[in-house]
Amino acid sequence: MQIPQPYLLFLGDVTDPLAAKTARGILSWRPELCVGQYRLNSDTVSVGLTDLSLQEAKQQGAKTLIIGTANAGGFLPQTWLETLKHALELGYNIASGLHQRLADIPSLNQTAKENHCQLFDVRHYDQPLEVGNGKKRQGKRLLTVGTDCSVGKMYTSLAIEREMKAQGLRAQFRATGQTGILIAGRGISVDAVIADFIAGAAEAISPAFTDHDWDVIEGQGSLLNPAYAGVSLGLLHGSQPDAMVLCHEVGRQHIRHFPHMSLPSIQETIDVNLNAARLTNKNARFIGICLNSSSLNQDDALALCKKMEQQYQMPVTDPVRFGVATIVNNLLSI
């Protein structure tokens, strides 16, 4: 699966800036893929791209319309249907990270077929997979892991890919969640595969390679999250990471959505990931820690990083504030 590029980012008629998170993520990390934005009216949030009509963007080469918004239920607003059908008639593919599948909407499915266009429901995965086998594959892999969900694993992975490239390494980001897949143009939502195939999906996301230096694999969930640990373990085993980076949100008190469960410590998270990783890669190691320190001011954040670097004997940074150069340097120095 490869989503044809470049993209036109569709923002519909959403007015909540947070709802445009997906579009903003794509633009931040892959500006070269974004021909423009398409808004249904002038009240719609903007991500700062040129407003283009479907026809204008098509003339500029756009191949896929990306539904760059999220909403509470994950459903496609009925009022967008005519626009999407029109896009298909113009020859666009459509990619969506919504829960509701575009392919399950009969009129869209029909129009896509008639116009030989593809619908990409990146939150779902229906292709055949094999179960994992744990066999050593060629190529070096870095995996981000976390003390919990939503602590910056995707951001950190993309920042590391960018920094590796800046330092002359040939790096490829490997996506495992819907926003990551829209950014990369391919990948598998590992939490959406049949449970038997989690590790196999991770092996498929980052197959053997010799044409570049590092695969940077987007982590999911946490080994110590009572809802999602199975996904995280399968992803860890299938990724066979040579290097891991721990992600953590400063000040988070309990596991997300679970006030009855306190957050695991950083050391505990490191230990449990190292132990599990060694099943498929004896040489797995941590090379750095990335903090989301937005609850602190800049000085306190920097002081915390310095203190933690002493404590854990590896680079500690906030990737948004201070970048990830120290972590990539560390990787190169070992």
Residue numbers of the site for its own copies (CB under 8 A)?
A: 131-135, 190-200, 223-224, 226-235, 237-238, 255, 257-258, 260-261, 272, 275-276, 279-280
Task: Give the integer Cα–Cα distance in Å for 97 and 84.
Answer: 15
Q: How far is the CB of 138 from its own copies (least distance, A)?
A: 15
For residue 332, count other CB atoms closer than 10 A to its CB: 12
CB 20 within 8 A of CB 48: no
Helix (H) or strand (E) holding 39: strand 34-39
Q: How far is the CB of 260 from its own copies (least distance, A)?
A: 6
Nearest to 87 by CA among 67, 68, 104: 67
**Packing angle, helices 153-166 and 21-29, rounded to 10:** 10
Nearest to 216 by CA among 249, 246, 244: 244
Q: How far is the CB of 280 from its own copies (least distance, A)?
A: 5
Give CA angle at 74 (38, 201), nearest 5°.
100
Question: Which lies closer to its own copies via its Cβ, residue 93 or residue 222?
Answer: 222
> CA 84 from chain center: how many Å?
25
Query: Exposed, middle or buried, 138 (CB in 10 Å: 0-12/13-18/19+)?
Result: exposed
Residues constituting the chain: 334
Q: How far is the CB of 145 from its own copies (least distance, A)?
A: 14
Q: How far is the CB of 242 from its own copies (least distance, A)?
A: 16
Q: How far is the CB of 35 from its own copies (least distance, A)?
A: 33
Question: Which lies closer to its own copies via its Cβ, residue 111 or residue 220?
Answer: 220
CB 148 within 8 A of CB 261: no
Distances, alpha carbon 135 to alpha carbons 184, 218, 219, in Å: 26, 20, 20
Task: Give the integer Cα–Cα distance in Å for 198 and 262.
Answer: 26
Question: Which lies closer to its own copies via its Cβ, residue 39 or residue 153?
Answer: 153
Question: Which lies closer to its own copies via its Cβ, residue 82 or residue 196?
Answer: 196
Question: Which lies closer to its own copies via its Cβ, residue 72 or residue 195?
Answer: 195
Question: Which lies closer to its own copies via its Cβ, residue 116 or residue 136?
Answer: 136
Question: Which lies closer to its own copies via its Cβ, residue 49 or residue 154?
Answer: 154
Task: Give the integer Cα–Cα distance in Å for 289 and 246.
Answer: 5
Q: How far is the CB of 199 from its own copies (least distance, A)?
A: 6
Question: Which lies closer to its own copies via its Cβ, residue 103 or residue 302?
Answer: 103
Q: How far is the CB of 262 from its own copies (least distance, A)?
A: 11
Supply 294's token pair: 């937005």
Q: How far is the CB of 307 from its own copies (least distance, A)?
A: 28
Question: Which lies closer to its own copies via its Cβ, residue 120 or residue 125?
Answer: 125
3-state class (DSSP) for residue 189:
coil
Prior bond to 207 cis, omega within 30? Answer: no
Nearest to 220 by CA among 206, 204, 207, 239: 239
